Every structure is written in C-alpha cells, then in structure tokens.
Structure 1
Amino acid sequence: MPYVIMFHDDPGVLDRKKELRAVHLEYVNKNAPRIIASGGLFPEDDDFPTGGLIILDTDSRQDAIDYIENDPFFLNGIFTHYTVDRWRKFVFDHKRVNA
C-alpha cells in the first residue's frame, strides 16, 4: 500500500531552499519510477512552494522514511518535520476506484 509523505518548510529557509531546488528536483526525478504523485504546497499569496506532498509507491513505511530523509531539502534543514501515512485510492483521476 503506498505512503503519503507531507512536509512544511521551517521558518526562514526560503533563500536556502531556492539554492537547493535544482538538487531537490534532480532527486525527485531520479526517484520518479516509484512516485505516484509529487508536488509543492503553496501559500495563497505566492507561487513558490512552502512544503510538499509525495505519494510513494512502496509497501514499506521504512522505505518512505528513507526516501524523505534522503531528500536534499531534509538533509539541508529546509524542513525538519514530516508525516508518513499509508494511503489507498478511493477516487483517482476523477473516477471512483474499486478498492
């Protein structure tokens, strides 16, 4: 069963995050074959993400933890807290999924 990982940036990291963004995107692209969905969380008044959500295709919670703790944003202190939860599709791509 996939896992959803969610994080929000720590305060005061915007400039450092912008510096690390290319390395983070490289990490995400490298792991794309095991990512169901991934994207930024945005504040209402800005077009630069201040967090993220990943749905990782893995049956192991530890694999999800390893993924997020090896993300360059985590390794460089952009965020220090995250959540990891099991996830099951109910509606996907605008359609009810038989579960």
Structure 2
Amino acid sequence: MQYLIIAYDNDNALDKRLEVRDAHVAGAKKLIAEGKIINAGALIEEDQMVGSTLFVDFESEDELNDWIDNEPYVVNKVWNMDEFQIVPVKLLPKS
C-alpha cells in the first residue's frame, strides 16, 4: 500500500537531525533500492527545513509500522510524532 508521510520536526531539532542524518540517509537509500521509498524531500517554510515528506510503498501496515519504529529520525526524536501524518495514496504508475 502506498502512503504519503508528512513528518514535521520537533522544535530545535536541527542539531539532532545532523547527528543522525547519515543513518537516516543510509536507511532511506536501502529502502529506495527495494522500492519501498518512492520519493522523499524536505518540508520548507520561510526558507527553513521544518520536516520531511516521503512517498512510500509497504506490503502491510505491520511493515510500515516496523519502518517507522526503527527510523533514525523517529528513534532520535527529530520528527515530532504528535504532528506525524500517514495518508494512504495511489500514485500514478511511472510508465
């Protein structure tokens, strides 16, 4: 199932984001190679990064939740889970 993930950062999360960015990017690259992350990018407000957006495709909600539970930005409290949104979507095929 495909989802749009909207993940706003906690206040003053930039230092923590930078500390765990390598782990986040490594995990994201693995999931991109597996076709589980379709696309991702930063949320920008007033020229400042305030969070992340991702289009993901997981076989089950359990697999989605396992990724969320182990995502470095979640584990290290970069993303504000009170503002974390998961929206089911159906993306256009690539071809």
TM-score under structure 2 normalisation? Answer: 0.79
- Higher share in strand: 2
Q: Give ranges in structure 1 of 5+ residues lacking alignment.
A: none
Q: CA deviation at 1:24?
A: 0.9
Q: CA deviation at 1:16?
A: 1.4
The answer on whether the counterparts of 2:2 and 2:91 sit within 8 Å (CA) in structure 1 is: no
Deviations 1:50-84 (A, max 9, x none): 21111111242332222222110100011231111
Q: In structure 1, the residue corresponding to 2:45 is in which secondary structure?
A: coil
Q: How many residues align?
A: 91
Query: Which residue is 1:3 aligned to?
Result: 3
Query: Which residue is 2:47 aligned to?
Result: 45
> Following the alignment from structure 1 to structure 2, what is the Cα–Cα distance between the partners of residues 11 and 87?
28
TM-score under structure 1 normalisation? Answer: 0.77
Deviating beyond 4 angstroms after TM superposition, the runs of 4 or more aligned structure 1 residues are: none
- The CA RMSD measured in Å over matched residues stands at 2.0
Amino acid at match of 2:2: P
> Following the alignment from structure 1 to structure 2, what is the Cα–Cα distance between the partners of residues 16 and 60?
30
Q: Percent identity?
A: 26
- Which protein has greater RCO, CA pairs closer than 8 Å, 6+ apart? 2
Larger Rg: 1
